[in-house]
Amino acid sequence: MSARMREPRGRLFFTILLALFLSVVPLPAWLDAVRPAFLVLTVLYWSIAAPRAGGISLGWIAGLALDIFQGSVLGQHALALSLVTYIAVREHQKIRSKPVFQQSLIVMGELFIYEFVVFAIDGWTGHALYGPLHWLQILTGALVWPLAAALLGRSHAPR
Amino acid sequence: MAAYGLGATNRRLTGHGSSPGLRFTLYAFVSIVVMVLDQRGGWLTEARFLLQAAAYPLQLAVSSPSAAWAWIKESTQAREALRAENERLRARESALALRALNYEGLARENAQLRGLAHALPPIVDRWLIGEIVNVELTTLRQRLLINRGTTNGVFAGQAVLDDSGLLGQTIHIGPWSAEVILVTDPEHAVPVQIERTGLRTIAVGAGNEGTLALPYLPANADVKAGDLLVTSGLGGVFPAGYPVARVAEVHRDAIQPLAQVRAVPLARIDRDREVALVWFNDERTKNPDIQAQPAPHPSVPAGAAPAAPAPASAAASAVPAKAAAAPAKSKTSPAPKSAPKPAPEDQAEDEVQ
């Protein structure tokens, strides 16, 4: 595939690994409650900026990695993350052309879908459910998005 | 869903042979199949084992900042402080050795008094020290990752202790690592006994405050703040007689048929760096015909049944926790389905005493 040559696969892999690290590194409880979903943000960024490099496979694999690290039901985060990746990949042109503020709102919607799927599967499989404070992560994720996008954008050459 | 968003432009832009819709449908299907298999248990144990092995290096990396910090703190500690600590530990060690001597004698005397080999509670005969690699203490997940796995002989559903009390049990096992679910995890339940009265019940993790709840005690049960809870040994996962928690508050409500009891775990969950994995010989779980033998009570085999096979014991102890999660959350239904669960154990207890 000729497209593969131009794709920033190495950086993608590195940033995903870093985001996974940030998502699972132990933090104090108060900080943990508002920790943005770094892995989701990074996967979303790559789905929008370079949908050919990772795509839905990337989302699924990243989600599965999260499942292993968090000891949750295998496939739970994988499903949630592949769903939001699918939406991002399908709409990547529209999202990419939006100003950063609107992108944040879209990301907030995506994070809500993600958290909702995780929440629903937790409920169906009989696991304990997160308290209302957990939904703050959607807000912090959206707030962090402009910064994350700028940092990740710098990590690879502009198109 | 596959047909949606499958325009010619989209196909060209994504550069893959299949459309994102089709891919997503495929991945969603795989996810659901994997989830169902994982939830049913058994089928995916091998896969999880391999994946956990693959994840272990990164898990070590994740814990490295805190490990480095601990190392720096330790290596810059003043010599006087170390000497004082050494002194203190030595004093404690001799005190513990004396207590251990005492214990040996008591255990022998106890065995003689009981006179029955099969009535002996399971006794720890071997343990292994493991180091905590990663700690996850959130409202929902009170888990630890330790650096011992199947290569050290660790198995799923193994009891984990620290020097002051019961910590929890192993759930997911890798070749070099194991995940430990703590007693305070909302999905964990441990069969306990109130040391003062001998009353048996189940302690469920409350999660949010790092405490335990005793949701199955009737309002008139003899329990008060300060009571010590020890493992009862029922269920076969934990050895009997190990301290678990101390009752912190008892709330009795005239409307509620059950008392609301909170207990604080004795294990220093947030301060430990090393834990002990234990192996114990449980006569009752090893020899199934012994437990069926003394049955003057018709209900005994039913009560003892969940504790019978050792491999299933992890599942047996996990079942009440899941059932208990619902009543703990919704106080509106005071008589949940799971309420009769402890009853067979109470009957079994009558028989033993």
Reported as a single tens digit per residue, the pLDDT across B180-200 is: 999 988 889 999 999 888 889
* Chain B positions in Cβ-Cβ contact with residue A88 (cut-off 8 Å): none
In which domain, by residue range, is B26 found? Answer: 1-40
* Chain B positions in Cβ-Cβ contact with residue A71 (cut-off 8 Å): 141, 143, 171-172, 179
Structural domains of chain A, count: 1
Per-residue pLDDT, B135:
78
B64 in any annotated domain = no
* Chain B positions in Cβ-Cβ contact with residue A1 (cut-off 8 Å): 15
Same domain for B279 and B147, yes or no, is yes
Whether B68 and chain A come into contact, CB under 8 Å, resolves to: no
Same domain for B33 and B133, yes or no, is no
Window A:29-58, CB contacts with B under 8 Å: 29, 32-33, 51-52, 55-57
Residue range B231-253: mean pLDDT, rounded: 86
Q: Are A55 and B32 a contacting pair at CB < 8 A?
A: no
Helix (H, G, I), strand (E, B) or coil at B243: strand
Enter the tokens of residue A23. Answer: 């998502």
Per-residue pLDDT, B95:
82
What band does B336 get if pLDDT is binned at 50, 70 and 90?
A: very low
What band does B18 get if pLDDT is binned at 50, 70 and 90?
A: low
* Higher pLDDT, residue B96 or B107: B96
Q: What is the mean pLDDT of chain B?
A: 72
Residue range B272-293: mean pLDDT, rounded: 60
What band does A85 get if pLDDT is binned at 50, 70 and 90?
A: very high
What band does A132 get if pLDDT is binned at 50, 70 and 90?
A: confident
Whether B186 and chain A come into contact, CB under 8 Å, resolves to: yes
**Which of A86, A94, A118, A129 to substitute to test the interface with B, most B CBs within 10 Å?**
A86
Helix (H, G, I), strand (E, B) or coil at B163: coil
CATH number of the domain that A112 lies in?
1.10.1760
- The candidate with the shortest Cα–Cα distance to B265, out of B286, B248, B284, B279, is B248
What band does A143 get if pLDDT is binned at 50, 70 and 90?
A: very high
**Cα(B160)–Cα(B180) distance, rounded to whole angstroms?**
8
B224 in any annotated domain = yes
What does the pLDDT look like over B134-160, one tens digit per residue? 777 766 778 888 988 888 889 888 989
**Cα(A116)–Cα(A108) distance, rounded to whole angstroms?**
12
Which of A108-112, B25-29, B59-63, B292-296 is least confident?
B292-296
**Cα(B27)–Cα(A17) distance, rounded to whole angstroms?**
21
Which of A38-42, A78-82, B6-10, B332-336 is least confident?
B332-336
Structural domains of chain B, count: 2
Nearest 5°: phi and psi at B143? -130, 160
**Cα(B29)–Cα(A141) distance, rounded to whole angstroms?**
28
CA B325, B331, B337, B341 dihedral sign is positive
**Cα(B228)–Cα(B203) distance, rounded to whole angstroms?**
12
Whether A151 and chain B come into contact, CB under 8 Å, resolves to: no
* Higher pLDDT, residue B207 or B7: B207
CATH number of the domain that B307 lies in?
2.40.10.350
Per-residue pLDDT, A76:
92
Which are the contacts of B55, defined by CB distance < 8 A and separation ≥ 6?
A65, A68, A69, B174
> First CA to last CA across chain B, in angstroms?
63
Which amino acid appears at position B257 of this protein? Answer: P
What band does A153 get if pLDDT is binned at 50, 70 and 90?
A: confident
In which domain, by residue range, is A69 found? Answer: 2-155
- The candidate with the shortest Cα–Cα distance to A25, out of B65, B180, B147, B71, is B65
Same domain for B20 and B129, yes or no, is no
Whether B337 and chain A come into contact, CB under 8 Å, resolves to: no
**Cα(A14)–Cα(A33) distance, rounded to whole angstroms?**
26
B98 in any annotated domain = no
The residue written with tokens 């459910």 in the block is A129
B112 in any annotated domain = no
Residues in chain B: 353
**Cα(A132)–Cα(B141) distance, rounded to whole angstroms?**
16
Same domain for B30 and B179, yes or no, is no
- pLDDT at B217 exceeding the cut of 80: yes
**Cα(B257)–Cα(B188) distance, rounded to whole angstroms?**
23
Q: Are B31 and A71 a contacting pair at CB < 8 A?
A: no
Share of chain B above pLDDT 70, in %: 68
Same domain for B27 and B130, yes or no, is no
Which amino acid appears at position B315 of this protein? Answer: A
Residue of A nearest to B62 (CA): A25
**Cα(B137)–Cα(B327) distance, rounded to whole angstroms?**
22
* Chain B positions in Cβ-Cβ contact with residue A29 (cut-off 8 Å): 137-138
- pLDDT at B320 exceeding the cut of 50: no
Residue of A nearest to B21 (CA): A86
Give B47→chain A minimum CA distance, Å: 10
Which of B116-125, B226-235, B276-285 is least confident?
B116-125
* Higher pLDDT, residue B240 or B331: B240
Instruction: Count A/B contacts: CB-CB distance under 8 Å.
Output: 128
Give A139→chain B minimum CA distance, Å: 19
For residue B49, the tally of other CB atoms under 10 A from its CB is: 15
B157 in any annotated domain = yes
* Chain A positions in Cβ-Cβ contact with residue B5 (cut-off 8 Å): 90
Per-residue pLDDT, B328:
39
Per-residue pLDDT, B272:
72
Whether B141 and chain A come into contact, CB under 8 Å, resolves to: yes
* Higher pLDDT, residue A42 or A32: A42
ipTM, two decimals, is: 0.82
Strands (E), B176-332: 178-182, 189-194, 200-205, 212-213, 228-231, 243-251, 260-265, 274-281
* Planar angle of CA B51, B54, B56, nearest 5 degrees: 110
Same domain for B33 and B177, yes or no, is no
Per-residue pLDDT, A146:
92
- pLDDT at B316 exceeding the cut of 50: no
B103 in any annotated domain = no
Give B165→chain A minimum CA distance, Å: 23
Helix (H, G, I), strand (E, B) or coil at B210: coil
